[in-house]
Amino acid sequence: MHRFLICIGIVLLLTACGGQGNNAQEVVERFAAAGLAIGEMRTVERVMDANLPAVYREYIRFQIKTDPPGGGSVFVCDNQNDCALIYQYFADNADRAGPYLYRNADGTVVVHLYRELQPDVAQQFAAVLDTLP
Type and span of the H or E element at 61: strand 58-64
pLDDT tens digit sequence for 59-113: 999 999 988 888 999 999 999 999 999 999 999 999 988 899 999 999 999 999 9
pLDDT at 4 over 50: no
Please tell me the pTM assigned to this model: 0.82
Mean pLDDT (whole number) for 1-20: 35
Residue 20: pLDDT band with limits 50, 70, 90: low
* DSSP state, residue 44: P
CA 89 remoteness from chain centre: 15
DSSP string, 4-22: HHHHHHHHHHHHHHTSSS-
Domains in the chain: boundaries: 21-129
Average pLDDT over residues 3-22: 40
Report the distance separating Cα 98 and Cα 38, nearest Å: 19
